[in-house]
Chains A and B, each alone.
Chain A
Amino acid sequence: MASDRNNSKKWSIEEKPIKIDKWDTAALKNALDDAAKNVLIKHHGYTENHSLMDGRLFVCTVAVAFAMFALIWDYLRPFPESRPVLIICVSSYFVLMGALTLYTTYKERGIFLVALEKDRAGMDPDNVWTLSSSLRKYDDVYYICMTFTDGKTKEMRKTEESKSVACFFDEDGVLCTDQYEPIIEKMRESLSSEKKGN
């Protein structure tokens, strides 16, 4: 473990402030998403559940595998002979691309974090937190949505926030964590205090 730490140190840049190109929408969204994720995972020690992302990775991997197989097969047996295999590979590829679109629009729906909060006593099932966000391309309003599903009652609660990205970045494009993290923290508290109220 210790040597692992050392190795990753060269690559890790955790101490460096997050600076991005503030005109790049994708970079803005990624920076805010990562920071929100940080609050739940690092500060509160919830465990991240990767299954949603893994599903997408799986579909992509299979699709790319089909394409690579078609490429190799067509190279080994030039065209007219490879036709049936090409038909299978090409149609599977486009079906998988369709499946990927459906998966991201209906299953992921912008959710970038599913985190499990372990029950302290270890008796009840885990509480589930999810974070989803959106930032449209030529828009400055970042929308973030947090949901909480109680492990025991299966009851789901949700809170949303929309704010201009200008509130969270300075002029040079450095993320102001002290401006952003309290908002996420407040959202989290509002959801967990309701829980205690019950």
Chain B
Amino acid sequence: MSGLLSFDFLDDVRRMNKRQLYYQVLNFGMIVSSALMIWKGLMVVTGSESPIVVVLSGSMEPAFHRGDLLLLTNYREEPIRVGEIVVFKVEGRDIPIVHRVLKVHEKDDGSVKFLTKGDNNSVDDRGLYAPGQLWLDKKDVVGRARGFVPYVGIVTILMNDYPKFKYAILVCLGIFVLVHRE
């Protein structure tokens, strides 16, 4: 350990006893857990599997711009209506899409099918759906937009554009929390 490199920043860790070391790991775990539990808590409260999303494209301008943060809810009992902005997933695409509902068909048995379009797009979304798919279903819906915070999500967009930068930051923060005592 006392070779060519001096790991002075590890001194804190080296002085710890077993309990302190374990607490250090737990402390890291609790930071991660708190974030995770807040997220899962929001999921439970809003009923949406992803209660906060970032707008990634300009297809909804001027309503939403790239980087806006959307808050979603997805309560089963609330019907989907024309003019609402929904976030939906399409099979074969990883990223959910934020667009406005254009047409809705409801049946007596409660099943719904609807068509969407981006405000800034000149055609409806049938070209974006899975091949052969003409309508969206209730199960495709991630949530409906209830509120938004402008531009905050630009950080997320940058992080996604430069994944290495994101991992570098995460690793640095992780090491700092693990090595730094309280």
Residues on A lying within 8 angstroms of B by beta carbon are 10-13, 16, 18-20, 26-27, 30, 34, 50, 53-54, 56-57, 60-61, 63-64, 66-68, 70-71, 74, 78-80, 83, 86-87, 89-90, 93-94, 97
Bound together, the chains give a CA A18 to CA B14 distance in angstroms of: 11
Known: A68-B33, A89-B37, A93-B33. 4 other contacts (CB 8 A): A13-B11, A30-B181, A60-B27, A89-B40
Cross-chain contact B33 with A63 (CB below 8 angstroms): yes
Chain B residues whose C-beta falls within 8 Å of the C-beta of A93 in the assembled complex: 33, 37
Cross-chain contact A57 with B23 (CB below 8 angstroms): yes
Q: Check: B44 CB closer than 8 A to any chain A CB.
A: yes
> Chain B interface residue count: which class?
20 to 34
What does the 1/0 interface line of B139-182 toward A look like (CB < 8 Å)? 00000000000000000000000000000000000000000111
Query: Helix, strand, loop or mixed for chain B's interface?
Result: helix
Chain B residues whose C-beta falls within 8 Å of the C-beta of A68 in the assembled complex: 33
CB distance from B140 to the nearest CB of A (A): 13
Cross-chain contact B36 with A60 (CB below 8 angstroms): no
Bound together, the chains give a CA A92 to CA B31 distance in angstroms of: 16
Residues on B lying within 8 angstroms of A by beta carbon are 1, 8, 11-12, 14-15, 19, 22-23, 26-27, 29-30, 32-34, 36-37, 40-41, 43-44, 47, 49, 180-182
Chain A residues whose C-beta falls within 8 Å of the C-beta of B44 in the assembled complex: 83, 86-87, 90
Cross-chain contact B40 with A90 (CB below 8 angstroms): yes
Known contacts A11-B1, A26-B182, A63-B33; decide if A70 and B14 are in contact (CB<8 Å): no
Bound together, the chains give a CA A19 to CA B14 distance in angstroms of: 13
Bound together, the chains give a CA A43 to CA B47 distance in angstroms of: 59
Cross-chain contact B12 with A90 (CB below 8 angstroms): no
Residue in B14, B44, B49 with the greatest tally of chain A CB atoms within 10 Å: B44
Bound together, the chains give a CA A72 to CA B47 distance in angstroms of: 19
Known contacts A63-B30, A63-B33, A97-B34; decide if A50 and B40 are in contact (CB<8 Å): no
Chain A residues whose C-beta falls within 8 Å of the C-beta of B33 in the assembled complex: 63-64, 66-68, 93
- Closest residue on chain A to residue B25 by CB atoms: A64
Q: Which of B8, B12, B23, B36 contacts A71 (CB 8 A)?
A: B36
Bound together, the chains give a CA A80 to CA B168 distance in angstroms of: 33
CB distance from A55 to the nearest CB of B (A): 11
Chain B residues whose C-beta falls within 8 Å of the C-beta of A18 in the assembled complex: 15
Chain A residues whose C-beta falls within 8 Å of the C-beta of B43 in the assembled complex: 79, 86
Residue in A53, A78, A90 with the greatest tally of chain B CB atoms within 10 Å: A90
Pairs across A and B, CB under 8 Å, 5 listed:
A30-B181, A63-B33, A64-B26, A90-B44, A97-B34
Cross-chain contact B22 with A57 (CB below 8 angstroms): yes
Residue in A71, A79, A97 with the greatest tally of chain B CB atoms within 10 Å: A79
CB distance from A192 to the nearest CB of B (A): 26
